[in-house]
Chain A
Amino acid sequence: MSEMRRVTAICNGTVVDHIPGGRAIQVLRMLRLDIGRSNPISMVMNVPSAKLGRKDVLKIEDRELSQEELDRLALIAPAASVAIIRNYSVAEKLKAELGEDLVNIARCSFWNCITQNAREPLPHKLRVVNIEPLEIRCSYCGRGQDMDEIVDNIL
């Protein structure tokens, strides 16, 4: 059975495919879809994938993800493909793309970074220094960011 048939097709919304297996919950947290939203969401986890071995899929009804949200998504699911669905058809295909600079997406996790002072007004800035393997550092203090911690530090 293909994973696309594990849950029903959606009328309008967004399908996020090719999320690395087991990371769908992190994606929901990162996109802030885990709290305070009324959109119906279907989640498929750990289904076989030729590209990733195991992958997760999310179907988010009545919500089209913005480019800024895709930038966030790229942090933990850089190979994800995103389809915007309108009236049961794919209206747009989008790619999660990781920019070089991540401004006000996540705060630095280092306890002694200058940005830990909540009253400092400059934006939080992280820099992608390597894509494969993914390596992200704070633009101010230079500390490497633990990818599991980044989800906890989403702004």
Chain B
Amino acid sequence: MGDLITMDDLTNKEITGLLDNAERLLPAAKGEIYLPLLEGKVLANMFFENSTRTRMSFESAMKRLGGSVLNFSSAGSSVAKGETLYDTMQMIDGYADVAVIRHPQQGAAQYSADTIEIPVLNAGDGAGNHPTQTLLDLFTIREAHGTLVGLNVVLVGDLRYGRTVHSLSHALVRFGATLTLVSPESLRMPSEIVSDLNAEGAEVTETTDLAGTIAEADVIYMTRIQKERFPDEDEYTKVAGIYMLTASDLAGAKESMVIMHPLPRVNEIHPSVDSTRHARYFQQAFNGVVARMALLCDCLGVKVPKKVK
């Protein structure tokens, strides 16, 4: 694997291989063993937009495997002086072995990949894609259900601007999932994505009603309505807080159903859900470390041993 810009850059076999490696790397991710597979390698964390989990879990993944990390944030850098993305990325090509990029503009990751030689991993480009999040989401779903095949997955909230659900929906239908897309009318999944999902032969239902989907769901994937993505604040106010899940809403849910969220949450999952058997979002955030460990090994050409001790 070279760059990872969208989930189309990975075959199902490659995805399964990465998830298997991630599972093997769990003891290293938990700090139970030190496994310096990436010693001498340098990762550049290129964040042109805020991040908590993604940036830190990439850093944790690299350091747990003995590598080192250069952290860049656009505030206080030459970007503030007007430097182009092209020039900034040229520089990092000479400083690191792999670049992780998050950028507020869509297409920035592909643009960077076209600009430089070292592998580029897309950690979120505007409302575009977030494939490394998808890997940890798939890992979490497989961990909960033992399979990715044939699950009934409900994606809820901001499906228009939510890059996590854009990437995840693509991947899930490739594994035969049935998708229910729950959003207000103004935040429906972009038509080109729905068209791609249909072309894959996926069973996709679109609705505005969350309550009616809970009983049949194997996974409910909540997302935050992202104020920062709205061109117009009035439009945001109309839909803010439209979906809120509380523990009492889950009475009719399957026992095995899991609730996920890429985080941060605002009010779409009430804290009362945290202590239910369904809550999986904090585990999901931890899984970011193992999934990214497996990904970094792969794109740097380092084999993960079959048995990690």
A: residues with CB less than 8 A from B are 108, 110-117, 119-122, 137-144
Contact of A139 among B103, B104, B110, B126 (CB under 8 A): B110
- B105 CB-CB contact with A under 8 Å: yes
Q: Contacting B86 at CB < 8 Å: which of A122, A140, A144? A: A122
In the bound complex, CA of A137 to CA of B231 (Å): 22
A143 and B106 contact, CB distance less than 8 A:
yes
Q: Flag if B192 contacts A122 (CB, 8 Å).
A: no
B106 close to A121 (CB less than 8 A)? no
Given contacts A120-B86, A121-B84, contact A141 B192 (CB under 8 A): no
In the complex, the answer to whether B108 meets A142 with C-beta atoms within 8 Å is no
B59 within 8 A of A: no
Query: Which residues of A have CB within 8 Å of B114?
Result: 122, 140
> B192 near A121 (CB under 8 angstroms)?
no
Q: Report B54 CB to chain A, min CB distance, Å.
A: 19
B119-156 interface code vs A (CB 8 A; 1 in, 0 out): 00000011111000000000000000000000000000
Cβ of B86 and Cβ of A141 under 8 Å apart? no
**Chain A residues, CB < 8 A from B104:** 112
Do the beta carbons of B6 and A142 come within 8 Å of each other?
yes
Chain A residues closer than 8 Å to B6, beta-carbon distance: 142
Residues on A with C-beta less than 8 A from B231 are 111
Given the interface pairs A113-B105, A116-B105, the reply to whether A143 lies near B192 with Cβ below 8 Å is: yes
- Whether A142 and B111, one on each chain, are in contact in the complex, defined by CB atoms closer than 8 angstroms, is no
Alpha-carbon distance between A117 and B84 when the two chains are bound, in angstroms: 8
Q: Is the CB of B106 within 8 A of A113?
A: yes
Which chain B residues (4-58) contact chain A, with CB distance < 8 Å? 6
**Interface of chain A, helix or strand or loop or mixed?**
loop
Residues from chain B with a CB closer than 8 A to the CB of A144 are 191-192
**B113 closest partner in A (C-beta):** A140
> Does B263 touch A at the CB level, under 8 Å?
no
Q: Could you name 17 residue pairs across A and B whose Cβ atoms are closer than 8 Å? A: A108-B107, A112-B126, A112-B127, A113-B105, A114-B103, A114-B105, A114-B106, A117-B105, A122-B111, A122-B114, A122-B115, A140-B110, A141-B125, A141-B126, A142-B106, A142-B129, A143-B192
Min CB distance B241 to A, Å, is 25
Determine whether B85 belongs to the interface, using a CB cutoff of 8 Å to chain A: yes
Question: Which residues on B sit within 8 Å (CB–CB) of A141?
Answer: 105-107, 110, 125-126, 128
Write the B208-233 contact mask toward A (1 if CB under 8 angstroms, else 0).
00000000000000000000000100
Supposing A117-B84, A122-B86, A141-B125 touch, asked if A112 and B191 sit within 8 A by C-beta, the answer is: no
The chain A residue with its CB closest to the CB of B83 is A119
Within the complex, the shortest CB–CB distance from A36 to chain B, in Å, comes to 30
Contact in complex: B111, A120 (CB < 8 Å)? yes
Give every chain B residue within 8 A of A137 (Cβ-Cβ): 192
A119-B84 in contact given A112-B126, A141-B128, A142-B6 (Cβ < 8 Å): yes
Rounded to whole Å, the gap between the CB of B134 and the closest CB of chain A is: 15
Specify which chain B residues have a CB less than 8 angstroms from the CB of A139 in the assembled complex: 110
In the assembly, what is the distance between CA of A119 and CA of B105, in Å? 14
Bound complex: CA A116 to CA B108 (Å): 11
Residue in B105, B126, B127, B128 with the greatest tally of chain A CB atoms within 10 Å? B105
* Contact partner, B192, options A116, A140, A142, Cβ 8 Å: A142
- Smallest distance from the beta carbon of B305 to chain A beta carbons, Å? 37
Q: How far is the CB of A113 from chain B (nearest CB, A)?
A: 5
Q: Which of A114, A120, A140 has the most CB of B within 10 A?
A: A114
